[in-house]
A and B are shown apart, each in its own frame.
Chain A
Amino acid sequence: MTISRRLKAFLVACTSVVLLVVYLPLALVVLNSFNVSKSFAWPPSGLTLRWWHAAAHSSGARHALVVSIEVGLLATAISLVLGTMAAMALQRTRFFGRNAISLLIILPIALPGIVTGLALNNAFTSIFGLELGFFTIVVAHATFCIVTVFNNVQARLRRMSASLEEASADLGARPFMTFRLVTFPLLRSALLAGGLLSFALSFDEIIVTTFTAGGHEQTLPIWIFQNLFRPNQTPVVNVVAAALIVLSAVPIWLAQRLGGDAEAMGTAAP
C-alpha cells in the first residue's frame, strides 16, 4: 500500500487519540473500584480493596451474572437457529417480498429499544397474559439478536460458491446432510462471529430488558441499575464493572482461538 508518510502519521494519531479517549473512562472505572470515596470523588483521596472484598460476597451480583449468561446463551442459540434459517431461505432466491423480509429482520434493532421494549411489554402482559420474567427476557433478546446472525451468515453465503452444495447434492447427499457436511463447516466462523455479537448485545442490553424483566428477575445490567441508586452500593457496582471489563477479554480471546481469522470479527458488525 502506498500511503504517504504524512497521511500515515495522521491516521496513527487519529487512531491513538480515539483509543485513548475510549479507554480513559474505562481506566477511570477500574481506578474508582479502588477509590475510598463511596461516590467516586475525584481525585481519589485513597485506595482500598474493601469494595472488591464486598463485591466478592455479593450474592445478588453473582445471581444476576448467572441470569445474564443464561439469557445471553439462550437468546443466542435461538437467534443462531432462526437467523441461519432466514439467511439460507433468502440465499440465491429472488421472490416478491424478499426485501420486506430483510427489513423485518432488521427492524427490531433499527427501531429504538424503548419502542421494542414497550411493544413487547404490552404484548406479553396484556395480550398473552404472561408474567414477566426469565422467559420474556429471552424472547425479547432473541428478537433483536436474530439480525446479527442473519447478516453474518448472509454475507458468508453470498461469498460462498453454490457449486459446493450442488456437488454434494449431485453426489446424492440429502439436504440436511449437505448442510451438516458442507454448508455448516463453511459457515462456522460466520456463525461464531454472529453468535458472539448476539451474546454481547444481549449481555449489555438494558432498555428492552427493563421493560420485559418484571419484578423477580434481574440480569446484570438491571442489577447494576438498581444498585446504582441504593445507599452504599455504588462502589460494589464499580467493582463488578471493572471485573467485566477485564473478563471481556475471555470471550474475545475465545473467538480468536476458535474463529482464527480476524476478518470474521470484522464482518461481525452488529
Chain B
Amino acid sequence: MSTRSGPSPARTGLLLLPPLLWLGVAYLGALGALFLAAFWTTNEFTGDLVKVFTLDNFRSLLDQPVYRTITARTLGVAVLVTLVDAALALPVAFFMAKVARPGLQRLLVIAVLMPLWASYLVKAYAWRGMLSKSGPLEWLGISPGYGLTGLVITLAYLWLPYMILPVYAGLQKLPGSLLEASADLGAPALTTFRRVVLPSVFPALVAGSIFTFSLTMGDYIAVKIVGGPTQMLGNVVADNYGVANNLPFAAAYSVVPVLVMLGYLGVVRRTGALENL
C-alpha cells in the first residue's frame, strides 16, 4: 500500500459505498419519487391517487394568492427566527468560549445542551402557557398572545441551542491572541467584534442558520400550538397530506422549501459553513 500518496481510490470507494447506497439511492430516490408524485392528482372524493401527468398542482400554487402569502410569511418567520437566534447566540457563545473559566464553561455547555432533551412538544406547550392572556408573561405586562409574534418567540426558543453550539465551537477555534492583538492596536471592543470576531465566526453562524431556517420552514406543530390562526408552509403540506389526503399537492408544495434550502446551501457553500455544521 502506497501510504505517502494518500488513501487509495479503492479504499475510498469501498468506504463510500454503504453511505452512498443509503443516502444516494434510498434517500435521493425517495425525494425523486415524491417529486414525481407532484405531477399527479387525486380523485376529488375518495382521495385515491390518479397517476396521470398534470401541472395542475403547480398551477394552483402559482395562481392562488394564498399560497404566495403563506410562502412569504414562512420565509419571513424563518429569517426573523434566525436573526433572533444569532443575536442571542453570539454573546452567550462568546462568553462561554472566551470569558468563562473551564469549570464554568463545562457547566454552561451542559446548560445549553439540557433543553435539547426536554420534549419539543412539551416546550411548545409550555410557551403556550407562557404566552397565554392569563400566563406569567401577562403578569409582567408583555404578553403578545398567540400569533406571529408568539410563534417567532417560541421557534427562536426551540432552535436556540442549534445556533449556540456551532457558534461556540467556531469561537473556540478563534485564537485569543487575535483579540488581544486587536485590542493592543487600540481597537474599541465594537471594532474588534466587527472586524475580527464576526468574520471568523461567520461560517459558524451560517451553519447554525441552516438549522434554524430549515427547522422553521418544516414546522407545523408549534405553529398550531402557539400560532393562533396563523398558517405556515408546513401546515399546508401536513394538512394536504394528512387531512385532505392530497399527496400530490403536498409534494408540489414541498418543492418550495427544497428549492429554498438548495439555493441557500449553494450560496453559503463558499463560506465553509457546511464544515461547521
- Direct interface between A and B, CB < 8 A: yes
The answer, yes or no, to whether A155 is at the interface (CB within 8 Å) is: yes
Shortest distance between the CB of A181 and any CB in chain B (Å): 16
Q: Of B12, B126, B129, which contacts A93 at CB under 8 A? A: B12
**Across the interface, do B121 and A1 meet the contact criterion of CB distance under 8 Å?**
no
Q: Of A42, A169, A245, which contacts B117 at CB under 8 A? A: A245
Could you tell me the dominant secondary structure of chain A's interface residues?
Answer: helix
B contact residues around A248 at 8 Å (CB):
114, 116-118
Q: Of A26, A238, A269, which contacts B115 at CB under 8 A? A: A26
Q: On chain A, which size bracket covers the interface?
A: 35 or more
**Across the interface, do A200 and B116 meet the contact criterion of CB distance under 8 Å?**
yes
**Across the interface, do B99 and A1 meet the contact criterion of CB distance under 8 Å?**
yes
**Across the interface, do A104 and B24 meet the contact criterion of CB distance under 8 Å?**
yes
A contact residues around B189 at 8 Å (CB):
3-4, 7
**Across the interface, do B18 and A224 meet the contact criterion of CB distance under 8 Å?**
no
- A18-B122 CB under 8 A given contacts A12-B95, A92-B7: no
**Across the interface, do A99 and B269 meet the contact criterion of CB distance under 8 Å?**
yes
The answer, yes or no, to whether A83 is at the interface (CB within 8 Å) is: yes
**Across the interface, do B19 and A256 meet the contact criterion of CB distance under 8 Å?**
no
**Across the interface, do A154 and B130 meet the contact criterion of CB distance under 8 Å?**
no
* Residues 14-25 of chain A, each 1 if its beta carbon lies under 8 Å from chain B, else 0: 110011011111
**Across the interface, do A42 and B135 meet the contact criterion of CB distance under 8 Å?**
yes
* Closest residue of A by beta carbon distance from B103: A262
Stretch among B59-67, B144-152, B208-216 lining the A interface: B208-216
- Counting residue pairs across A and B whose Cβ atoms lie within 8 Å, the total is 303
- Most B Cβ at <10 Å: residue of A93, A107, A119, A146: A119
CB under 8 Å from chain B, chain A span 116-148: 116, 118-120, 122-123, 126-127, 139, 142-143, 146-147
The answer, yes or no, to whether B201 is at the interface (CB within 8 Å) is: no
Shortest distance between the CB of A102 and any CB in chain B (Å): 6
**Across the interface, do B24 and A204 meet the contact criterion of CB distance under 8 Å?**
no
**Across the interface, do B92 and A14 meet the contact criterion of CB distance under 8 Å?**
yes
The answer, yes or no, to whether A67 is at the interface (CB within 8 Å) is: no
**Across the interface, do B119 and A110 meet the contact criterion of CB distance under 8 Å?**
no
**Across the interface, do A108 and B11 meet the contact criterion of CB distance under 8 Å?**
no
B contact residues around A263 at 8 Å (CB):
172
- A109-B214 CB under 8 A given contacts A11-B94, A262-B105, A270-B162: yes
* Residues 243-256 of chain B, each 1 if its beta carbon lies under 8 Å from chain A, else 0: 00001001100100
Shortest distance between the CB of B241 and any CB in chain A (Å): 6
A contact residues around B251 at 8 Å (CB):
118, 122
The answer, yes or no, to whether B196 is at the interface (CB within 8 Å) is: no
Q: On chain B, which size bracket covers the interface?
A: 35 or more
**Across the interface, do A166 and B4 meet the contact criterion of CB distance under 8 Å?**
yes
CB under 8 Å from chain A, chain B span 104-123: 105-106, 108-123
**Across the interface, do B218 and A207 meet the contact criterion of CB distance under 8 Å?**
yes
The answer, yes or no, to whether A180 is at the interface (CB within 8 Å) is: no
* Closest residue of A by beta carbon distance from B96: A15
* Residues 200-237 of chain A, each 1 if its beta carbon lies under 8 Å from chain B, else 0: 10011011000100000000110011001000000001
Shortest distance between the CB of B225 and any CB in chain A (Å): 9
* C-alpha spacing A2/B241, complex, angstroms: 56
Shortest distance between the CB of A261 and any CB in chain B (Å): 9
- Most B Cβ at <10 Å: residue of A40, A111, A206, A211: A111
- A101-B115 CB under 8 A given contacts A21-B157, A25-B157, A114-B234: no
A contact residues around B254 at 8 Å (CB):
114-115, 118-119
* Residues 222-255 of chain B, each 1 if its beta carbon lies under 8 Å from chain A, else 0: 0000000000001001100100000100110010
**Across the interface, do A110 and B210 meet the contact criterion of CB distance under 8 Å?**
yes
* C-alpha spacing A231/B11, complex, angstroms: 58
The answer, yes or no, to whether A241 is at the interface (CB within 8 Å) is: yes
> What would be 16 A-B contacts, judged by CB atoms less than 8 Å apart?
A1-B99, A11-B95, A18-B91, A24-B136, A82-B19, A103-B269, A104-B23, A108-B27, A114-B254, A119-B34, A123-B30, A142-B22, A245-B117, A251-B117, A265-B109, A269-B204
Task: Apart from A109-B211, A162-B6, list 10 A-B contacts with CB within 8 A.
Answer: A1-B176, A11-B94, A28-B126, A93-B6, A95-B12, A143-B27, A166-B4, A169-B3, A211-B241, A225-B221
User: Which B residues are closer than 8 A to A by beta carbons?
Assistant: 1, 3-4, 6-7, 9, 11-13, 15-16, 18-20, 22-24, 26-31, 33-34, 37, 88, 91-92, 94-99, 102, 105-106, 108-123, 125-127, 129-130, 132, 134-136, 157, 160, 162, 165-166, 168-169, 172, 176, 179-180, 183, 189, 204, 207-208, 210-211, 214-215, 217-221, 234, 237-238, 241, 247, 250-251, 254, 257-258, 261, 265, 269, 274-277
